[in-house]
Structure 1
């Protein structure tokens, strides 16, 4: 139990409304990942020359606002970042705009994202050693910065992106392909900055917090290879134009690699991570007087199967007191995947969180003492309007009473439809950050 005096109001909420208690843990995780909290400690001093801002991601708008608040008012600052449509946060009152916030499509790129990428490449041309480039990067940047490699058009990038999203490929695999089919990712944006110093401020949404994977690493060296990208495309049976296949086979589309002297003057700082967010949620849970166990911030795998594994663990806690004694909270993060079958691609509505919740509900078998919440920390699960969903002890019983088949909804990846009918969707709107999946299981 927590040795500090418990938060009596939170402890009461735990007893009265487990759903609201789990939502409180989610809010604590999201609040800890807001860019203003972590950016201050990593800002460099203004340079003798120009300071150009570039960036992309679901948190890019909030990161731009944070930078405008923290950067000295008398130091020049200009540039643009791109975020997902509808993810531009309200501008703080009285804050002058020095960075433009553009909008584009996610998860499949569009012409606006391509225009934003080209604009950023132009903005860093001609910079010298006295200049500074501040790159604000967060999850989602891979789709939002779309500059197709030679031989590819935007329609090709859209088709390949859609195929990757439905393939079940991991985020690292998808970004390996994206980097080698891009004119801006995989360190190419940094290479375009010439002699200027580049400082990347990143919010991690990937297992392991590898900067070369976050938004496909536009300003960091890329250790992956053309051969690996080609192998991924082959393994998942994703077609590419013959000229691009030949360029991958020859190494013509190889990315800038580690070890080049040009990287010596560049720096990368992680200002928020999944682990930090889970620890913030754990601290909030412990304030209610309940033990909290953080399982991992790097869980990957098929969402429904990860849900079933979490169910098995929670049942072991509830029924055997192992590996943890109840009552307790189990937290995990990471990035799972949903492999969409062709027959279900149109029928289903949902994302990783609701897919996890359906697998979890199957595995829990209506256990009377287990509650759960799974949600994406950016506030959007897939392409719907919800962040995630709750699973309650009576989830399957209420579904049966409404004539809902959990198996049928899972087969067509329709988590949104299933949990919407149960009024168990968590709807938050965009959170203006992104540290990926959040999962909390309460075992009473």
Structure 2
């Protein structure tokens, strides 16, 4: 790779990372805590749960805290914090442990208490408390089917709520205290609390406690920060849109002509594409699939670089956030990899994977396209 293209690659990653950093769970939560009364109990659930809980503990000092998060996402929390790590995107037995623990803690809170509930994406899989006559096998099969079907997150979470005692307002229906505060990082279109984490932080249909809810970070915030850095580095921003909500092949075909025809500058896109998986999928997630499909669209464009990544730092059941592709990425074996849902293997061989580690946030996906 020549020096100019390498510099462009690094600049594109830097702009993408600025978007992710702007919605860091610790930073976004800390920014709103001046308006939150001291809680008696912290409950944090989702991929950004540890970062959000850390902000609260740093602000208020030691408090009873339960964190339910993804494997490897618990961060550097105090030893007295109870942490339950579970599986994502398909739940496991620890997910049931986490969901049950959340319900039991909230049920035990006294009448004059204040609970602070911190919610982020991933909670649908990470914490569950099943309705009677449903089993872990039922839950696993449901999630496997939903993930393979190409449904958007709103439709998936509507199905998940049907099995749950704690989703769709169910968790807070068990709260008999005086005040509930919900702070959420949105990983869904429209930033609807009833959809984030299948509504684990949503208010029940009827309740007697004081309640306040707030979205503290979203895809729009990430895109805005990425666009701001691009402008500060002297690059015109040609697009800033949430438009990735479709099958990844259609997203790629829609964006392809815009990218190949773009003037020098930066385009920023957000959202969450869907993927229909074959019976025996290979390695990768939706961002790696979209990145490779976009590489096909821009093949031969010598002056274009794309960063396609999940803002949580992971993509499906992999440790990559996505990929960085350009006009030379598409090549022998790429079409077969795309058909076999094995984009990750091809991109790894091409040294194109984007690996960030857990980011402490989750606001759907982010694309940065740069042409200099």
TM-score (norm 1): 0.79
- Per the alignment, residue 337 of structure 2 pairs with 409
Q: Supply the distance in 1 between the matched residues of 2:177 and 2:58 (Cα, whole angstroms).
A: 27
Query: 1:11-90 maps to which residues of 2 (within 5 A)?
Result: 17-43=7-33, 44-46=36-38, 51-71=40-60, 73=61, 77-90=63-76
Q: CA deviation at 1:294?
A: 3.9
On the 8 A contact 1:167/1:340 being kept in 2, the answer is: yes
| SS of equivalent to 1:395 | coil
Deviations 1:198-220 (A, max 9, x none): 11111111111111111111131
| SS of equivalent to 1:188 | coil
| SS of equivalent to 1:299 | coil
Q: Supply the distance in 1 between the matched residues of 2:319 and 2:208 (Cα, whole angstroms).
A: 40
| Off by >4 Å, runs of 4+ in structure 1 | 13-16
Residue 381 (1) aligns with residue 315 (2): yes
For structure 2, the 5+ residue unaligned runs are none
- Per the alignment, residue 210 of structure 1 pairs with 192
Q: Supply the distance in 1 between the matched residues of 2:192 and 2:208 (Cα, whole angstroms).
A: 16
Q: CA deviation at 1:340?
A: 0.6
| SS of equivalent to 1:202 | strand
Residue 352 (1) aligns with residue 286 (2): yes
Q: CA deviation at 1:79?
A: 2.7
Residue 304 (1) aligns with residue 249 (2): yes
Larger radius of gyration: 1
| SS of equivalent to 1:212 | coil
Q: CA deviation at 1:89?
A: 1.4
Instruction: Give the RMSD, CA atoms, in angstroms.
Output: 1.8
- Per the alignment, residue 323 of structure 1 pairs with none
Query: 1:258-407 maps to which residues of 2 (within 5 A)?
Result: 260=206, 262=207, 265-297=210-242, 299-317=244-262, 326-342=263-279, 345-346=280-281, 348-396=282-330, 399=331, 404-407=332-335
- Per the alignment, residue 237 of structure 1 pairs with none
On the 8 A contact 2:44/2:52 being kept in 1, the answer is: no
For structure 1, the 5+ residue unaligned runs are 1-12, 222-255, 318-325
Q: CA deviation at 1:186?
A: 0.6
On the 8 A contact 1:305/1:359 being kept in 2, the answer is: no
| SS of equivalent to 1:266 | strand
Q: CA deviation at 1:41?
A: 4.1
Q: CA deviation at 1:165?
A: 0.4
Deviations 1:70-120 (A, max 9, x none): 11x3xx6203011100112134xxxx5553222011111111110111111
- Per the alignment, residue 5 of structure 1 pairs with none
C-alpha distance 86-167 of structure 1, shift in aligned 2 (>3 A): same
On the 8 A contact 1:206/1:298 being kept in 2, the answer is: no
On the 8 A contact 2:45/2:120 being kept in 1, the answer is: yes
On the 8 A contact 1:81/1:136 being kept in 2, the answer is: no
Query: 1:415-430 maps to which residues of 2 (within 5 A)?
Result: 415-430=343-358
- Per the alignment, residue 157 of structure 2 pairs with 175
TM-score (norm 2): 0.94
Q: Supply the distance in 2 between the matched residues of 1:173 and 1:165 (Cα, whole angstroms).
A: 11
Q: Supply the distance in 1 between the matched residues of 2:129 and 2:20 (Cα, whole angstroms).
A: 30
Larger deviation, residues 53-62 vs 119-128 = 119-128
| SS of equivalent to 1:55 | strand
C-alpha distance 426-41 of structure 1, shift in aligned 2 (>3 A): closer
Instruction: Say how many residue pairs are matched.
Output: 368
Residue 143 (1) aligns with residue 125 (2): yes
Q: CA deviation at 1:40?
A: 3.0
On the 8 A contact 1:107/1:143 being kept in 2, the answer is: yes
Q: CA deviation at 1:14?
A: 7.5
